Structure 1
Amino acid sequence: MLKDTNEFRESFSRFGYSDTGALLKAIGSGIITVRDMFRKLRPQEEEMDERTEEEESTRFFDFARSKSKGIIL
């Protein structure tokens, strides 16, 4: 986890910023998002996470739309 934190801190040059302060300013103003950073730093892991979230949301919505088993009027 420490390695991931250091990689995140030292990634400012990969995004075209001069230092970490400039990168944090861009994040704070909305020019770049943390999600965009993770997509660029770890593209394969992000794809796996998106699929997992999509599968979970589909399963949730299927459950929520099922017919009730109670009295039907």
Structure 2
Amino acid sequence: MANKALESTVLSIEVQSSIDKDGNPTFTKKKIGNLVPNVELAKVQAVASLVADLLSANTRNFYLTELSQIEE
């Protein structure tokens, strides 16, 4: 039976980088890595909101990426 082993957790925040030719905003992702494994989602959202408030550019979505290794 296969198992997974969590290796890393990364928080990404979409930050407005420019305006396209049609006047629509374009976004890039700013990443914060090395989050505590199995961190509570409410804490991640609170940190993401605080960081977004500190940024001068508009922000859009938050993402949490967990990378796991599959083990036999």
Q: Which has the higher helix share?
A: 1
Same fold (TM over 0.5): no
Q: Which has the higher strand share?
A: 2
Q: Which has the higher contact order (CA 8 A, sep 6+)?
A: 2
Normalised to the residue count of structure 2, the TM-score between the two structures is 0.30
Q: Highest CA radius of gyration, 1 or 2? A: 1
